Amino acid sequence: MRVGFGFDAHRLELGRKFVLGGVHVESDRGAAGHSDADVLAHAVCDAILGAAAIGDLGGRFPASDPRWKDADSMALLAQCVADVQRAGYSVQNVDATIVLELPRLAPLVDRMRENLARSLGISAGQVSVKAKSSEGLGYTGDGTGVAASAVALIETL
């Protein structure tokens, strides 16, 4: 068994679509980025890639490559899972945390878990997503950014 950790953060911009865990979040601000800027999916990608010691998301889908402009991060996650499997591992579980002051995400967490599980090829019972506020502190608390972290457990096929 191997464990990996992933982290991602993005600036929030007015008028940008906001996607977390493949779920559209109703908000006047969304995460800025080359792809759809889904910080939750990106953190999970880096966690599973890190567990397999096969690089990171930016190395596979660089912002300098126009192919990844506005890319669906859930599709990128599925590609990362395929890479992890080619390296001889299967994903066993993921535990992730999103840090964002507003909007409140609790009503969306189950859909995020289901979307992540589908892309990971595991059951929703093997995926945990938690939403936390930073109580007004830092970029996640003042409304200028969003962050996510994830831990993944993989095992040899």
Q: For 54-74, write each residue's pLDDT tens digit.
A: 999 999 999 899 999 999 999
> Among the CATH numbers 4.10.320.10, 3.30.200.20, 3.30.1330.50, 3.40.30.10, which is that of 2-156?
3.30.1330.50
Please tell me the distance from the alpha carbon of residue 25 to that of residue 23, in angstroms, as a whole number.
6
pLDDT at residue 149 in the model: 98
- Chain segment 1-39, per-residue pLDDT in tens: 999 999 999 999 999 999 999 999 999 999 999 999 999
The residue ranges of every structural domain in the chain are: 2-156
- Chain segment 103-130, per-residue pLDDT in tens: 999 999 999 999 999 999 999 999 999 9
Residue 17 CB neighbour total at 10 angstroms: 13
Phi, psi of 123 (to 5 degrees): -85, 160
**Ranges assigned E (strand) in the chain:** 2-14, 19-20, 23-24, 29-31, 89-99, 127-132, 145-156
Q: Please tell me whether the overall predicted TM-score, pTM, comes out greater than 0.85 for this model.
A: yes
